[in-house]
Amino acid sequence: MKFGVNLLPLVPCRSEPSDKSEMVTQLLFGELYKVQDENPKWILIEILDDGYTCWIDRKQHHQISKTEFERLKSAPAKRVAEPTGLLHCNEGVPMCIPLGAPLPGIDEKGVLDIGGKKFRFNGSTLDVAYKDISAFSLKFLNAPYLWGGKSVLGIDCSGFIQLLFIAMGYQLPRDAYQQAEHGDDVAFAEESMAGDLAYFENDKGKITHVGMVTEPGKIIHASGRVRIDSFDHRGIYNADTETYTHRLRLIKRITLLAKKA
């Protein structure tokens, strides 16, 4: 088996090996993956963190040895704590990387040695000892909605929630309906508290949307942009349009310390 690590700020991951195929998620800088299949232009990968399978362009693939993969996998990984962080590679060329990107093996001087390349990080970092998930979520406010996106430059509802929780030390799956299988049920919207996840269904009863409670009666979610709206037992109420935009299906509560990412 072959292994890889992303050394670019963001890499689009597609459902099929084609530039015309939909982007289903993104790789952030520092994320690891296993190679499942390949052809002359495309590589089928399995992302280490969430097991998501998707295709990336071969030109954006950086292969590493199994030994290096295991080293990076077990190395402490702080994460970028601001909307963008600045990396300098060993050639001195700067590169901006997004909020929440892992920095595997970063030392006290901000130096990373990844896949045979050295980087120096200038910026603030976040580690899993940090537990104020509501404060962290506010850093994404007004990020535009983007199907498959995972950054402040474009993010979807489940990518937003996944990134929040992995930064807190808990690994969720990529898609909303999969995330809904985690945690304990909260019986009533009135009993929800900051950090609870609310899931919403379409007309066919399928879970298609997720957001996080920031305080009783308020929810942050990616819909058009990352925004805070009111919510209750019916769903999400958009004050701008004076309508309910999403129908509540269930609410889950995750104990962040129960499982480390």
Domains of the chain (ranges; CATH) run 2-126 (2.30.30.40), 133-258 (3.90.1720.10)
| Per-residue pLDDT at 215 | 92
| Per-residue pLDDT at 41 | 98
| Per-residue pLDDT at 67 | 97
Quick check: is 54 catalytic? no
Burial class (CB in 10 A: 0-12, 13-18, 19+), 75: middle
Of 37, 33, 30, 35, which is closest to residue 2 (Cα–Cα)?
Answer: 35
| Per-residue pLDDT at 18 | 98
Q: What is the pLDDT along the chain (261 residues), one digit of tens a residue?
A: 999 999 999 999 999 999 999 999 999 999 999 999 999 999 999 999 999 999 999 999 999 999 999 999 999 889 999 988 999 987 678 999 999 999 999 998 999 999 889 999 988 998 755 578 889 999 999 999 999 999 999 999 999 999 999 988 899 999 999 999 999 999 999 999 999 999 999 999 999 999 999 999 999 999 999 999 999 999 999 999 999 999 999 999 997 644 444
| Per-residue pLDDT at 129 | 54
Residue 251 φ/ψ, nearest 5 degrees: -130, 135
| Per-residue pLDDT at 258 | 40
| Per-residue pLDDT at 256 | 60
Quick check: is 13 catalytic? no
| Per-residue pLDDT at 132 | 84
Annotated active-site residue in 157, 182, 233, 246: 157
pTM of this prediction exceeds 0.85: yes
Annotated active-site residue in 54, 221, 233, 246: 221
Quick check: is 246 catalytic? no
